[in-house]
Amino acid sequence: MVGLCLYAPSDILPALVSEQPRRHKPFFCCHVVEELLVRSIASIFKAHPTSRPAEMKFMRQIGRRLRYLPHSIKFKPYPGGILVSWEDNEAESFRMLGPNGPDYHVVLHDDNCANTEMALLHDQAALPNETVPCGCRQQSARQTHRKCLFTGLSHTSTYYATIALNEDRAFYGVPSDRLSPGSYESASYALQEAKRRLK
């Protein structure tokens, strides 16, 4: 049996597990991640028993960043563009409480831009009109939407996305697979050809 350890909130675990084929069913390690976090932070602050407020603040910050860690990043080709979507670990019930949520910073990298693919931490919050250091295209997206559309892309280039909460020292999700906007045209052409042959 092949297993995969996933981090997900407890209220969606049963649904996620039941959707997986039996042989490749994931097991969820939320409790492991949270317990390791508690133990690690406790050992860091152990030497300073008076620093309990700082320890609790640090725990809340890390917990928040884990809750908003993007995962399941997907691409969908559009004519001359790519729709990027993702999930996070926030419970849907909390997400629906209000229209406002934190912003995510989404960067669509050209395939030649390989130096950002292994980044783990989002250095600093990005401003809307700011250019990212690598020169690739960027957008901001609300946590309630968790998607954005990049248009005007080259049909011959392939792209991948990096996504993080738009805050200093936030965690990047695992980058998406690579995709070319031209794959939409290829699929559209193949569909038109199939329809033409059926006539």
CATH number for the domain spanning 111: value is 2.60.40.10
Instruction: Please report, for residues 14, 37, 170, the alpha-carbon distance to residue 41 in angstroms, rounded to integers and kept in the order given.
Output: 29, 6, 17
Asked if the structure places residue 118 within a domain, the reply is yes
pTM, full prediction: 0.69
Q: 43 lies in a domain?
A: no
- Per the domain annotation, does 9 fall within a domain? no
125 belongs to a structural domain? yes
pLDDT score at 83? 92
pLDDT number for residue 169:
83
Q: Would residue 131 count as lying in a domain?
A: yes
Alpha helices in 70-135 (DSSP H): 92-95
Instruction: Give every CB contact of residue 28 below 8 A, 6+ residues apart in sequence.
Output: 5, 6, 7, 8, 13, 16, 17
The whole-number pLDDT of residue 136 equals: 87
pLDDT digits (tens, 9 = 90+) for 107-147: 999 888 876 777 777 877 787 767 788 888 899 998 888 89
**CA atoms of 66 and 38, how far apart (whole Å):** 13
Nearest 5°: the CA angle 166, 168, 170 is 70
DSSP assignment string, 140-170: EEETTT-EEEEES--TT--EEEEEEESSTTE
Determine the pLDDT at residue 197: 55
Task: Work out how many domains the chain is built from and give that number.
Answer: 1
In a domain, 30, yes or no: no
E strand spans, the chain: 5-6, 27-28, 71-78, 81-87, 103-110, 121-122, 137-142, 147-151, 159-165, 170-171
Within a domain: 199: no
pLDDT at 124: 76
Q: Residue 116: helix, strand or coil by DSSP?
A: coil
135: left (phi over 0), alpha (psi -120 to 50) or beta: left
| Cα 4 off chain centre by | 18
What domain range includes position 101? 69-184
Where the chain has pLDDT below 70, the residues are 1-31, 47-49, 91-99, 115, 129, 183-199
